[in-house]
Amino acid sequence: MQDTLAFAGYTFWASISMDFTDEHHHLDCPHCSTRLAIVIGDYGYYSAIRDHNDGDIHRVPLQPITPAELGGIRRWMHDTAAAGGETTLAGGLTYLFGRAGCGACGSTFDLADWFEAENSPTQPIDPIVPRTHRSS
């Protein structure tokens, strides 16, 4: 699936780990900038503030999205995983594409949208490719 995503131009989704047996992602809350650990897998489905002494504190359960609510490439990813019998991947995607909460400020946000925005390049590759004049 990740090869297909890459060739289709979804390089962010092609590059992240989707081993939802023990997945941990890190991002900043879009509202208060608190660093959050996003856990999807055998340890649970939650966002938390990671404390070096106390572990994951201020846990907030992730809110999964239903497959019927998915659209576009997200629906394709889920349906492809489900059709291939990859139930752990299909289930993990419902949490990744759902909503997360911040234990510090109490806000909620679309997890995948914010995760992609925070980790994707802000510039397309095209501006660094030299232009050539082909009219002659």
For the chain, the structural domain boundaries read 2-119
Q: Give CA–CA dist 130/111, Å, rounded.
A: 36
> What predicted TM-score, i.e. pTM, was given to this entire model?
0.84
Strands in 8-120 per DSSP E: 22-28, 35-41, 44-51, 55-61, 99-101, 108-110
pLDDT in tens, the chain (136 residues): 888 888 888 888 888 888 888 888 899 999 999 999 999 999 999 999 998 899 899 999 999 999 999 999 999 999 999 999 999 999 999 999 999 999 999 999 999 999 888 877 654 444 444 444 444 4
